[in-house]
Structure 1
Amino acid sequence: GPSVVRGGDSSDASRLVETVVSRQLSAVPTSPFEGQKPGTSGLRKKTSVFMQPGYLENFIQGLFDSLPPEELRGATLVVSGDGRYYNSAAIHIICKMAAARGVARVWVGRDGLLSTPAASCVIREREGGVACGGILLTASHNPGGPENDFGIKYNVRNGGPALESLTDAVYKRTLELTEYTICAGIPDVDLSREGRYVFCEAAGAAPFFEIQVIDPTEDYVKLMSSLFDFDAIRSLLARPDMSFVFDAMHGVAGPYARAIFAEILGVPQDALLNCEPSEDFNGGHPDPNLTYAAALATLMGLNGQTPDEPPVIGAAADGDADRNMIVGRRFFVTPSDSVAVIAAHADALPWLSRAGGLKALARSMPTSGALDRVASQLGLPLFETPTGWKYFGNLMDSHLLGGQNLSPLLCGEESFGTGSPH
């Protein structure tokens, strides 16, 4: 049907595009695929597997069928990813299936991008936390591209990963499917332009579905500015004896690095490396460690090959920006020590002061006991969990589960993931 554009230019979030389309639903026959059982970080397979006709659709149908109908009907859902190959195509499919399920609105980051932390932030914070959850398209630190990996996971209303009770139900449902439902009349939208894309059955009628393309950094930057003292950090980075470099590894962290490090904190653009997101991470492996972040390691003098004086501090993020390696000049910090150092100095964080200080620390089982030493020194309880962020989420929400309130909690795991219930 015809589209009517109202207000705003191509870069204006107030831009509204109204399109008249049929609301008719299509029930597409299908049959189960083997192996659609999510692991600790969702469902990860080769991209070619996800691109099989019906494979993504089956998993999404299994997810929607496993959620309470009233949870999706009239709801707002977040759908975005780390920008790897097949990201945009998958977003369009999911949006059409969401419309068929009665979802009223989908929030998508511009260019289909939201880091995993930013997606949690949008779920929890945007419009007061109105979203019912989010579908994240990422295989985290795994390589991307047609020959490599793709992934999908569901985060619930608290912004954290779905628990096994839900993922097990999704898997069970995928084994029973005979059809999936899609609103095929909804066209693909331009994900590169912010604005509201609304779909009506007649011109001027109330829309039955909306895709809103949002600034992927706006909500996250606002949250970070409330957690950290940006003025103090800006002053530190401006000192003549301080220098900093960040490697986004061609993942989704790039736009966030520019928004925070460059625009707010004044870091020179040439200190922000590989900040253009790429569908195949520019042929690299977006895992921040000394092997795959070799360029940063060389620049920081961590492999003995740096001809010049290295920067004082460096950092790198993985594909979906929920792992962060932080290193010093000629000084490597292990993931286990990294979370321990942060915990030992957590009283410098403004939001923790406002919240009355840390109440607990947590680490995954493979993470070393450095954090235990800090917990003992600070007189805080220390929790050891299986690998998987959902277990940290249980601790963060323990007061909702009949346990004690452990927030603010600081947690970390063996591959440079660190978090808290902010």
Structure 2
Amino acid sequence: MIKFGTSGWRAVMGEEFTFGNVRIVVQAVANYLKQRFPGRTITVLVNYDTRFLSERFANEAAKILSHNQIHVLLADRDAPAQAQALQIIKRKAQAGINFTASFNPPEYNGLKLNIETGAPALPSETDKVEEEARRLARAPIFNPYYPRPEFVQEIDLQSDYLEFLQKKIDFASIRKSRLRIGVDLLYGTSREYLDEILEDNGIPIEEIHGYVDPYFGGITPSCSEQNLRELGRLIREKKCGLGIATDADGDRFGILDQNGRFIVQNIILALLLDYLVRVKGWRGGVARSVSTTHLIDRVARRFSLPLFKTPVGFKYMAELFLRKQIIFGGEESACIAVKSHLPEKDGIFAGLLVAEMIAATRLNLTELRQHFFRRYGKKYSGQKSVPLHSKSERALNDLVIAPPEHFGGRRVLAVERIDGIKFDFEDDDWLLLRLSGTEPLIRCYAEAESKADLEKLLRLGVKRLD
């Protein structure tokens, strides 16, 4: 069944994600756009990542759209999702289609829909596309062999994005600090983006995995601690002061310190918010998803900043960004929103902002964390997953309907149903259980004052689903 989740429609290639189903979904998008913009010239930007067949899927989409007399701006090579968002805004396109499964395993592919603002489509839009796809699936879809060339134009996404990024980061401070940066491009779309802008600004880098491999070196193309061990070794060997990694479509980040140690994204988000507010003097609303660290809350409380909570999915944060309600937003899955940037996740920008923070404060990441914990206290966060089946789904639904007043001997101070069910305890500790929007799993997230309390909460959460 074709279903848009947290970040687009994702499925295993050759099973659900087939050329036939792609044609159905693209035609459904075309029909939706023609209904939404009646009588207007419609332009769609089509992009893709480095996965197996992504370019073929993009070309197939261009064929379908061109035969619908929709103008197609086709990326001339695989490109980061945020570079696509910038072009949607600049060229006033009505939508963008990106063939990517982001950090999912290599056997997956996906189709992500962005709207005319450059932001990811909300459920109110993708629900209509799904409904149209179900209708179209009842009969054969027209399958053109050639595109209509008068409706297809190849464009470069790199140059405008790098020019845009040049104005957002203090590269002079990074260069002056003599910070050497280790870069892991994870075989993805950030090659000749992240590495190129650093080199163009005279910042020394050491780079790995800057080439296309649809198997991603035999790993999942996510910026996890396990996947970035090779980057850690590179940092130690080349004496780098920072490590930056991006995932397959360049919109998520991973950060390693000067010792090659992985820093969890929740900590990076909290450090960046503190830097922007305390050092750069920014003021305004702050957002976090329901699964993100409450260290964000502590910084917001310290500076009396309004706090917004969203379901998991950057599209909800992008909505607040577009309304100019927030100066900063973060998701524990390595997503960041910052005022006057883009309404799309940007792992390249996030990594560069960390480099700017190190240069501006003249502190390495170990020192930055120590200073932060002295101001706000320390929290430990983690996640486990449980396979989704009838028993575990029923257990989750029962908790949502009738949540307990005590959990593992701890009094529940508040229950949130923004996305799944979340139990808030004393000291900003919490437990969240929710359906994954990208895989057949139930996610169990928790945060606590100690590692022991964290492990206990995660065990209790998993046990409740058994």
| TM norm. shorter chain > 0.5 | yes
Of 286, 294, 302, the residue aligned with 2:229 is 294
> Which residue in the other structure is 2:176 paired with?
235
Secondary structure at the counterpart of residue 175 of structure 1: helix
5+ residue gaps, structure 2, are 342-466
How far off is 1:70 after superposition?
A: 6.1
Secondary structure at the counterpart of residue 155 of structure 2: strand
User: Which of structures 1 and 2 has the larger relative contact order (alpha carbons within 8 angstroms, sep 6+)?
Assistant: 1
Of 147, 150, 159, the residue aligned with 2:109 is 150
> Which residue in the other structure is 1:217 paired with?
158
> Which residue in the other structure is 1:372 paired with?
297
How far off is 1:314 after superposition?
A: 0.8
- Give, in whole Å, the separation in 2 of the partners of 1:348 and 1:135: 38
The residue type equivalent to 2:242 in the other structure is: I
How far off is 1:90 after superposition?
A: 0.7
Secondary structure at the counterpart of residue 82 of structure 2: helix
> Which residue in the other structure is 2:128 paired with?
169
Contact 1:358 1:410 in 2 (8 A): no
> Which residue in the other structure is 1:6 paired with?
none
How far off is 1:171 after superposition?
A: 1.4
Of 252, 255, 264, the residue aligned with 1:326 is 255
- Give, in whole Å, the separation in 1 of the partners of 2:100 and 2:287: 25
Over residues 71-107 of structure 1, what are the superposed CA-to-partner deviations in whole Å (9 max), with x where a residue is unaligned? 3852321101112111111111111111122212x22
With over 3 angstroms needed to count, the CA separation of the structure-2 counterparts of 1:75 and 1:282, relative to structure 1, is same
> Which residue in the other structure is 1:283 paired with?
218
Structure 1 residue 47 and structure 2 residue 13: aligned? Answer: yes
> Which residue in the other structure is 2:64 paired with?
97
Q: What are the within-5 Å matches in structure 2 for residues 364-403 of structure 1?
A: 364-398=289-323
Contact 1:316 1:325 in 2 (8 A): yes
Normalization by structure 2: what TM-score? 0.67
RMSD: 2.3
With over 3 angstroms needed to count, the CA separation of the structure-2 counterparts of 1:332 and 1:93, relative to structure 1, is closer
- Give, in whole Å, the separation in 1 of the partners of 2:75 and 2:18: 25
Contact 1:315 1:324 in 2 (8 A): yes
With over 3 angstroms needed to count, the CA separation of the structure-2 counterparts of 1:286 and 1:393, relative to structure 1, is same
- Give, in whole Å, the separation in 2 of the partners of 1:211 and 1:341: 42
Contact 1:47 1:150 in 2 (8 A): yes
The residue type equivalent to 1:103 in the other structure is: I
Secondary structure at the counterpart of residue 225 of structure 2: coil
How far off is 1:263 after superposition?
A: 2.2
Structure 1 residue 415 and structure 2 residue 340: aligned? Answer: no
With over 3 angstroms needed to count, the CA separation of the structure-2 counterparts of 1:117 and 1:262, relative to structure 1, is same
> Which residue in the other structure is 2:284 paired with?
359
- Give, in whole Å, the separation in 1 of the partners of 2:37 and 2:144: 19
Of 322, 335, 341, the residue aligned with 2:265 is 335
With over 3 angstroms needed to count, the CA separation of the structure-2 counterparts of 1:246 and 1:185, relative to structure 1, is closer
More off after superposition, 247-256 vs 60-69:
60-69
Contact 2:9 2:110 in 1 (8 A): yes
> Which residue in the other structure is 2:190 paired with?
253
Secondary structure at the counterpart of residue 93 of structure 2: coil
Over residues 135-184 of structure 1, what are the superposed CA-to-partner deviations in whole Å (9 max), with x where a residue is unaligned? 0111001132xxx1101110001111111011111111122112434554
How far off is 1:348 after superposition?
A: 9.1
The residue type equivalent to 2:117 in the other structure is: N
5+ residue gaps, structure 1, are 1-34, 188-198, 200-206, 301-305, 399-404
- Give, in whole Å, the separation in 2 of the partners of 1:164 and 1:382: 23
Paired residues, number: 336
- Give, in whole Å, the separation in 1 of the partners of 2:50 and 2:152: 22
- Give, in whole Å, the separation in 1 of the partners of 2:19 and 2:271: 48
Structure 1 residue 317 and structure 2 residue 246: aligned? Answer: yes
